[in-house]
Amino acid sequence: MRIPIAAPARRFVDQVVVVTGAAGGMGSAMAERFAVEGAQVWVCDAHAEGAAAVAGQIGGRSLAFDLSSPQAATEAIASILAESGRIDVLVNNAGINRRGPLLAVSAEDWDLTFAVNISAMFHLCKAVVPAMIEAGGGSIVNNASQAGLHPIAGSIAYSTSKAAVAHFTQNLARDYAADGIRVNAVCPGEINTPMLQSGMRGRGQTKADMDALVPYGRIGEPAEVAALVAFLASDEAPFLTGSCVEITGAQVAQ
């Protein structure tokens, strides 16, 4: 099911927007939304071919780098600033999910989950915030997942890392509100992405099975999350900062 992108205004004309994890799923929908609204979009992902393909489709730029590397994350922001001159919006969407309860999660999977889901966010924000301060403001939107607010059984690494994202978001917002930098997070529930589809196949579930768990009657679509991200990043939400907004179809985390 494809949800039409409704763009009531071109809210990001002449703005530079960076989206991580944008080679597919929610990230590519976010990149598309910002492009439709007039932004110069940098499609960032660890997968170079996927990032380039999305960038080609939306008329954006692509940059591939390893989000688990602090140096790579810092250099990526420096490269974008050097080429584009500014970054108005940073969307920290990239994330991985190494499933399992405590005794089933390896130390390597735990460390990688935190490296990608929260440490990369730290390094990217640390690199971009000085430029936003100099520019007089900016917007950062993080993907905290519903799991960041309501732990999901069998996903201790993912849930704990996403809880860190939620708190990171609120701390960063409070620290730099006076500099005109707004920081918010989206907390999606079950969204129809390749990651979810892979999990469903592994559990022997169908989309109909997942739809039945959601009071609204269906799981969400990436474009719906993208619309929320664009709103949070836009000038239509000037007083909204430090918020973690759930988008779940009224579903309670399982």
What does the pLDDT average to over 27-38? 97
Asked whether residue 9 is domain-assigned, the answer is no
Residue 138 has a CB neighbour count (10 Å cut-off) of: 25
Asked whether residue 142 is domain-assigned, the answer is yes
What does the pLDDT average to over 162-171? 98
Q: What is the pLDDT of residue 165?
A: 98
Q: What is the pLDDT of residue 196?
A: 78
Contact between 65 and 116 under an 8 Å Cβ cutoff? The reply is no
Q: Give catalytic residue positions.
A: 158
User: What percent of the chain has a predicted confidence (pLDDT) above 90?
Assistant: 88
Query: How much is the mean pLDDT over the chain?
Result: 94
- Show Cβ contacts of residue 250 under 8 Å, excluding neighbours closer than 6 positions: 214, 215, 216
Domain CATH number, residue 72: 3.40.50.720
Using CA atoms, how far apart are residues 141 and 108, in angstroms rounded to an integer? 28
What does the pLDDT average to over 181-202? 88
Asked whether residue 227 is domain-assigned, the answer is yes
Q: Domain tally for the chain?
A: 1
What does the pLDDT average to over 1-19? 77
Asked whether residue 104 is domain-assigned, the answer is yes
Asked whether residue 63 is domain-assigned, the answer is yes
Which has more confidence, 252 or 242? 242
Q: What is the pLDDT of residue 197?
A: 80
Is the overall model pTM greater than 0.75, yes or no? yes
Q: What is the pLDDT of residue 1?
A: 46
Contact between 227 and 6 under an 8 Å Cβ cutoff? The reply is yes
pLDDT of residue 248 exceeding 90? yes
Please give the residue range of the domain that contains residue 162. 16-247
Of 47, 13, 43, nearest to 28 (Cα)? 43
pLDDT of residue 250 exceeding 80? yes
Q: What is the pLDDT of residue 240?
A: 98
Q: What is the pLDDT of residue 3?
A: 52
Which has more confidence, 210 or 69? 69
What does the pLDDT average to over 234-243? 97
Q: Which pLDDT band, with edges at 50, 70 and 90, does 202 fall under? A: confident
pLDDT in tens, 47-100: 999 999 999 999 999 999 999 999 999 999 999 999 999 999 999 999 999 999
Asked whether residue 177 is domain-assigned, the answer is yes
Asked whether residue 11 is domain-assigned, the answer is no
Q: What is the pLDDT of residue 254?
A: 62
pLDDT in tens, 115-137: 999 999 999 999 999 999 999 99
Asked whether residue 252 is domain-assigned, the answer is no
User: What percent of the chain has a predicted confidence (pLDDT) above 70?
Assistant: 96
Q: Which residues pair with 155 in a beta bridge?
A: 100
